[in-house]
Amino acid sequence: MTAQAQRTVLTYGTFDLFHPGHVQLLKRARALGTRLVVGLSTDEFNALKGKKSVMCYEDRKAVLEACRYVDEVFAEDDWDQKVADAIRTGADVFVMGDDWLGKFDFMGEHCQVVYLARTPEVSSTEIKQRMRDERTALTLV
């Protein structure tokens, strides 16, 4: 593909317990361009975000790299790396789920900013809660 036809999409996340909400986000993001690069939160950055993922960074990275919609995965370990990442990757579009609506509008100076509707009723938190409920039910029998 000639260089001028390349259209790079950039997004970020933890992508713990990879689920259909993540897939739908990545699928729609990829459809906005010809290449999707993902900043994957490191375990240390998750601690800064107040999140603890079930899967470590290396495992979450392996899963993302296996996703048909993802072309490249790099480490996200700082809130302030996005502009540099957009410049480094030549991002044309920055995408996040709309739970982040407005939070990254500053990226509009460097690329198009798109917030996509979150997929309802699925989240890593909900999956973890379902597993806890299952375990509780089993201990009660």
Q: Does residue 32 touch ligand C2G according to CB under 6 A?
A: no
Q: Does residue 41 touch ligand C2G according to CB under 6 A?
A: yes
Q: Does residue 14 touch ligand C2G according to CB under 6 A?
A: yes
Tokens 């290449």 — which residue? Answer: 35
Query: What tokens appear for 24 in the block?
Result: 């739908």
CA 115 to chain centroid: 12
Active site annotation includes 61: no
Tokens 């998750």 — which residue? Answer: 46
* CA neighbor of 97 nearest in space, from 7, 6, 8, 15: 15
Q: Are 105 and 114 in contact (CB under 8 A)?
A: no
By beta-carbon proximity to ligand C2G, the closer residue of 113 and 122 is 122
For the CB of residue 51, give the shortest distance to ligand C2G in the complex, in Å. 6
In the region spanning residues 69 to 88, those forming contacts with ligand C2G, defined by CB under 6 A, are 76
Q: Does residue 96 touch ligand C2G according to CB under 6 A?
A: yes
Task: For residue 52, give the DSSP letter.
Answer: -
Catalogue the active-site residues: 49, 51
Contacts with ligand C2G by CB under 6 A lie at: 12-15, 21-22, 25, 41, 51, 76, 96-97, 99, 118-119, 122-123
